[in-house]
């Protein structure tokens, strides 16, 4: 097999543990009938994992930091970061097609399941590139912003199709921040590579599903299309990153620090890792019209901002960024044109194998399952996701508040003819 040098070169720029990178790799291997052990870059060994887990905690942490640091690119290679190279790397993960459905947009665990169930490739809007940085302290966000801002601005200048988010999260990414800085590159236009992929591999009259996550975050603009985000979506509420609290004080005391002093935010913008920037939407809709394809938007989840006392001038008076989505409220995923008109029913010709199961935390999967039927079929009539290939599982998932799949129905019996239909009420 001939070596693709361009793809191999770009693979050294992307970060292997990034959510979007893993979505692309996992889905590309799934469409080729392969698994995704070891994030597709290393061995997936339970014995190796057990051996590493048995090491003393300080040694494990040091290994984690040093191995993670290898993911950061040297500063002298910063000029190699190009939007079209990243797009080329993503498109080269998939078989030639053609595909009746292509998924584009925000990273999402549920979106990955939807793409797999549809047999569709996923083209990410956001990709993580990490820079080696041994000078910034995790608990000095303002200092980290000043140190990395010129580098982030350079990436933005070199790539007019990208917005660059320097994401600094000392709560969830503390070990990594001791050796690297996170630059999340968010695509604002499709660009020639994605356009060519859609023109050549999307079936005539096919469907383009646009995944739109409305999550936003407080950010600070440091240059044109260059932003700094302190904190990230996870276990710590956004307000605690900025306002502090008892458990933040206890955490910092254990780290030998006093308090975080983040730079003053100037607007809410799409969350660096999970948020969707709607600047991409017009390009997708224009290409769909030109290619006679069906564009379908799948938007969600939305969050309700906590009603609590905030620091004056930070949250209540903060404007929305011009490209940000409308203020979010929390509910299940939604699809335009009222997805709740459709009710999912499931039938199989034999009972699911023991590996088939349903997991739920109480969220309603109806919006996403009805969305899958309507988005793929593009009609109001019943839609069917038909016979499963051997050793493949059909997964219908709802997106939870933290952007993971928490309501999952899986039918993994290779001998069963499994149908999922959506009927109008």
> Is the C-alpha dihedral spanning 253, 256, 259, 265 positive or negative?
negative
Cα→Cα distances 158→124, 155, 167, 278, Å: 20, 5, 19, 21
The pLDDT of residue 43: 64
Residue 215: strand, helix, or coil:
coil
The pLDDT of residue 324: 41
Residue 107: strand, helix, or coil:
coil
pTM for this predicted structure: 0.73
CA distance 29 to 17: 16
Query: What residues form DSSP beta bridges with 343?
Result: 423
pLDDT, tens digit only, all 425 positions of the chain: 566 888 888 888 888 889 999 999 999 999 999 887 766 566 667 787 788 788 888 888 888 787 777 888 888 888 899 999 999 999 999 999 899 999 999 999 999 999 999 999 999 999 999 999 888 999 999 999 999 999 999 999 999 999 999 999 999 999 899 889 999 999 999 999 999 999 999 999 999 999 999 999 999 999 999 999 999 998 899 999 999 999 999 999 999 998 899 999 999 999 999 999 999 999 999 999 988 899 999 987 655 444 344 433 333 345 556 554 333 433 333 333 333 332 333 333 333 333 333 333 333 333 333 444 444 444 322 233 333 333 333 333 333 333 333 233 332 333 333 333 322 22
Q: What are the residue ranges spanned by the domains of the chain?
A: 5-32+55-331, 334-425
Which DSSP string do the residues of 322-373 spell out, in sequence order?
A: TTPPPPP--BS-EESS-GGGEEEEEEESSPPPTT-EEE-SS---HHHHHHHH
Report the number of secondary-structure helices (H) and strands (E) in the chain: 13, 16
Query: What residues form DSSP beta bridges with 179?
Result: none
């Amino acid at each position: 097999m001939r070596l693709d040098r361009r793809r191999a070169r770009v693979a050294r720029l992307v970060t292997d543990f990034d959510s979007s990178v893993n979505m692309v790799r996992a889905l590309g291997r799934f469409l080729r009938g392969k698994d995704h052990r070891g994030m597709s870059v290393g061995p997936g060994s339970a014995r190796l994992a057990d051996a590493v887990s048995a090491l003393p905690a300080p040694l494990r942490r040091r290994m984690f930091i040093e191995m993670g640091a290898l993911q950061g690119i040297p500063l002298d290679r910063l000029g190699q970061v190009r939007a079209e190279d990243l797009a080329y790397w993503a498109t080269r993960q998939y078989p030639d097609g053609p595909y009746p459905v292509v998924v584009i947009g925000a990273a999402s665990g549920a979106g990955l399941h939807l793409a797999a169930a549809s047999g569709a490739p996923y083209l990410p809007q956001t990709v993580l590139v990490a820079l080696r940085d041994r000078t910034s302290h995790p608990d000095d966000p303002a200092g980290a912003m000043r140190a990395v801002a010129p580098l982030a601005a350079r990436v933005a200048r070199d790539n007019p199709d990208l917005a660059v988010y320097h994401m600094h999260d000392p709560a969830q990414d503390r070990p990594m921040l001791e050796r690297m800085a996170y630059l999340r590159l968010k695509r604002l236009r499709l660009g020639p590579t994605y356009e060519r992929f859609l023109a050549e591999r999307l079936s005539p009259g096919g469907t383009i599903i646009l995944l739109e996550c409305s999550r936003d975050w407080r950010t600070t603009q440091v240059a044109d299309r260059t932003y700094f985000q302190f904190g990230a979506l996870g276990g710590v509420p956004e307000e605690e990153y900025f306002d502090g609290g008892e458990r933040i004080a206890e955490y910092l005391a254990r780290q030998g620090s006093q308090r975080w002093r983040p730079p003053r935010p100037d607007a809410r913008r799409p969350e660096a890792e999970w948020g969707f920037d709607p600047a991409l939407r017009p390009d997708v809709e224009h290409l769909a019209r030109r290619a006679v394809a069906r564009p379908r938007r799948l938007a969600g989840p939305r969050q309700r901002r906590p009603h609590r006392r905030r620091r004056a001038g930070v949250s209540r008076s903060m404007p929305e960024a011009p490209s940000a989505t409308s203020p979010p409220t929390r509910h299940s995923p939604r699809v335009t044109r009222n997805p709740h008109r459709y009710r999912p029913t499931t039938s199989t010709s034999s009972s699911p194998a023991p590996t088939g199961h349903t997991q739920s935390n109480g969220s309603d999967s109806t919006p996403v399952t009805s969305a899958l039927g309507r988005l793929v079929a593009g009609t109001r009539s019943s839609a069917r996701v038909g016979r499963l290939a051997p050793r493949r599982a059909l997964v219908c998932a709802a997106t939870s508040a933290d952007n993971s799949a928490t309501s999952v129905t899986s039918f993994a019996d290779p001998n069963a003819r499994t149908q999922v239909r959506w009927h109008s009420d």
